Structure formats: C-alpha cells, structure tokens
Structure 1
C-alpha cells in the first residue's frame, strides 16, 4: 500500500513533458530516478542510460507516453502483443510510447526498464474515469460504513484514517491540473482498497466478508483506471 506514484506513472508523466518541450532533460532525469533505486535500460541498441530511453522515444516519433496498470483478467492500458502483456502483468505496470513500451523490473536496488514492442491500445477517457471514481468512492464509503469498519483491528483502522489525506503530487509542467488531481484521488482510492482487501477485519460472517470485498473490488478497479487515464497523455483534455 503506497500513496507514491508507481515507477511507470512517474516516467509516463515526465517523458510526456520532455517530448512536448515542457521540461528540460536534467529535470526529467532527476524526477524519474528520484529515490534509492538505480535505473538501467535493457534492450536499446544505443545504450543503457535513461537518457538513451528519452532519445529513443523522440526518434520513434512518439508525441507522449502513457501508463498501463494490468492485473489478472484486466490488462488495463495494454494492447499487446502477448509478450508485453505477460511481462507487464508480472510486475503490474508499464509505460507505453508509440510502438514501444518499457516494463520496470526491480532487481535488488536496480530498476531494469526492459524495452518491448507495443501494439495500439485503448485507454479510459479522463472524464469517464473521473466520474466513475467519484461514484465508486461514495458507494464504497457507504457500504463500508454499513459493515462497521470500526471493528477492524486498531492498527488497520488508524492506517485507514491516515489515508483520508490525499497525496500532494509534483507533476511536471504541461500536465493538466485535472489529471494531477485525478491521479492523487486514484492513488488514494487504490490504497484504501488494498488496505481493506488485505484484511477481513471484524467481519462476522462469510456474507459480510464477501459484501466488503464486493464493495472494494470496484473501487480498486476504478482507482487504477483513474490513474491510467491521468497518466496517459493520449486521452488528456485539450489545454
């Protein structure tokens, strides 16, 4: 459970900003590689540095980048081929730009960005993803209240209370404010769903357990869709 952007979401945002001339190279590299991990690109003929990935994206003619957050049964943000889908599903994320994608695999203290061909994909519309997330959050909150979340183990209840505070995201220049806000709410909803789905807590019966899961699975899906839309430049609203 985290309120931080996934590695691929961060790269999708900043790569788009760089391709569109909104951010300079050094600023992009600092933002993408911020943290304790080293970053290596695998599969490029020209080199293994993140700079080489940026240059390859520009040479490919990509106008921006986008996020994929697939889970079993829902290849969200992917259009194939199967090799890409399988690799992205194994780690739960990928970045797609034009006819290419990169999938981050963290090995020890290094994120290996593995380059793979990508087919055209379909991505949720920002407006639709936004409306769905808002409606799903309301429905999940009402049902969880009826199921008496207060009976969860105390530490889980405390964590849930902390998640009420929406994360503040540092988006690159050129990112629509609506998408920055949607990404923050998507992370918030996803974290709540992961926390709640990971513990059946004070549920007293199999019926209550299944009701709680039924309330939270749509929230998890709506939150992922919101984050994919917010971090995929091809569906951003016009400036």
Structure 2
C-alpha cells in the first residue's frame, strides 16, 4: 500500500517546513528505496540539488505552502496551468505545487536511469479542495463500489480484491510524517487501498463476460479512482500539523 511520490514529497516537506521533522529525515522518507532524488531548474539554483535542500529553497518564498496534483485523462485534478506544465504533470500522473506570495512553482517527477528528477517550472495556483468533503465522498464511493463489485462477482475474476477490502486493519501503515492527525491517516490509507483496488481490477478483464458488466465495472472503477485521487489531493494539500 503506497501513495504517489508527489504525495510523500508534499506531506514530508510540509512537515519539515512546520518543524516537525528535519530535512534529512524528510528526504529519506520521500526517497524510499530510490537511490537518489534531485531537484532541477529551481529558480536561482542553476545546479541540481538533493531533496534535503528543498525545504530551505522553499523557505525563501513568502508564506510558502505545498499542494498536490494527481491528474488523469479528462480530470486535471490539482492543476491550474500553464498548458505545458499540465501536459507534463498529466504524463507523470502527479506533481507538487509550491505556492508563495506572488510566486508558484510546480515539481514533476521523472525517472532518469536510477535517479528521480523533480523538474521545476512556474505555474498557476490551483484552488484547494475541502478535505472533509473529499473524505466523506471517498467513504460513500467505497461503500457503493464494494456493493457493485460484489454484484459483479469480483472474486471470480480478481480474488485479491475482496481480501484487500476485508483486511484493511491488518495492512501496514503508510510512512507518514509525525504529527499527521489520525483522521487524515485513516483517509489516506483508505484512499491508497482504493487506488490499489483500481490498479488490480484494471489489470485483468477477468469474468466480466458481457458488455453491460464491462461498462458497469469500468464506471465503478472510474468513480473509485476519482474519489481516491481527490481525497489524497485534498488531504495532502491541507495543513496536517498535529491537532
């Protein structure tokens, strides 16, 4: 169970800016098993630099904050432009937006050999989502989707999915920064579960034998994917300090 790289960068760098964690610990958490992450094209920094130096670079902005984008085809979630940046973020499926007074920059990850490069460019500021509303929508969509997948006899074509649904409490927790509220942890873990269900289901056409079943399943998975991405974006873009 995992979140996109950009979600971890948003959460851990935000925690570092609040003083909850140090920059080295934040960099290690974001990097995970990747050998190296570098930020490139940051304004005033002609040379690439390590993730541990990103909080200091962000701190030069006035009243900085971070937002997450998880766009998909037909759903530019978390993006406001310009078009060239939106296209890069859509291709990656993710981006981080760093917002300050009078300036905003987007970071899009790409893989170059064994290094993850975070490409920086000026962007427009996206609007914030309501975390509470996104969390409630996710819960409702998960209930509806579960009932629909049971109706479609999901176990006959993808037996791992019922196990995921039934064993959320036994799954390992997400590596989230200290001070993350319990309510946010619960929502993010539920969203990660939903994203995993969608990924598994889309990887196997399985037992959806009729065109009606295929359409029903596709609609169910689209709704589940959209609700999961929306919840992750809303929670990661909010200030998640200890409450």
TM-score, structure 1 as length reference? 0.90
Matched, 1:35 2:33: yes
Alignment partners' CA distance in 2, 1:232 and 1:41: 20
Deviation at residue 8 of structure 1 after TM alignment? 0.6
Alignment partners' CA distance in 2, 1:210 and 1:81: 34
- 1:53 corresponds in structure 2 to 54
Q: 1:84 is paired with a residue of what secondary structure?
A: helix
- 1:86 corresponds in structure 2 to 87
Preserved contact between residue 65 and residue 97 of structure 1 (Cα < 8 Å): yes
5+ residue gaps, structure 2: none
Matched, 1:64 2:69: no
Preserved contact between residue 70 and residue 93 of structure 2 (Cα < 8 Å): yes
- 1:165 corresponds in structure 2 to 167
Preserved contact between residue 26 and residue 52 of structure 2 (Cα < 8 Å): no
Q: 1:95 is paired with a residue of what secondary structure?
A: strand
- 1:179 corresponds in structure 2 to 184
Deviation at residue 183 of structure 1 after TM alignment? 0.9
Matched, 1:121 2:126: yes
- 2:76 corresponds in structure 1 to 75
CA pair 122-164 structure 1, distance change in 2 beyond 3 A: farther
Q: 1:129 is paired with a residue of what secondary structure?
A: helix
Alignment partners' CA distance in 1, 2:58 and 2:166: 37
Preserved contact between residue 19 and residue 58 of structure 1 (Cα < 8 Å): yes
Alignment partners' CA distance in 2, 1:103 and 1:184: 23
Deviation at residue 110 of structure 1 after TM alignment? 0.8
Deviation at residue 238 of structure 1 after TM alignment? 8.9
Count of residue correspondences: 233
Q: Which range moves more in the overlay, 12-21 or 161-170?
A: 161-170
- CA deviation map 1:183-229 (0-9, x unaligned): 11111011111211232211121111111111121011001111111
Matched, 1:149 2:147: no
Deviation at residue 15 of structure 1 after TM alignment? 0.8
Alignment partners' CA distance in 1, 2:242 and 2:129: 16
Q: Which range moves more in the overlay, 167-176 or 18-27?
A: 167-176
Preserved contact between residue 155 and residue 162 of structure 2 (Cα < 8 Å): no
Cα RMSD (Å) of the superposition? Answer: 1.9
Deviation at residue 176 of structure 1 after TM alignment? 2.5
Alignment partners' CA distance in 2, 1:237 and 1:22: 8
**4+ long deviations beyond 3 Å:** 162-167, 236-239
Deviation at residue 105 of structure 1 after TM alignment? 0.5
TM-score, structure 2 as length reference? 0.89
Alignment partners' CA distance in 1, 2:193 and 2:205: 20
Alignment partners' CA distance in 2, 1:209 and 1:176: 39
Preserved contact between residue 24 and residue 52 of structure 2 (Cα < 8 Å): no
- 1:20 corresponds in structure 2 to 18
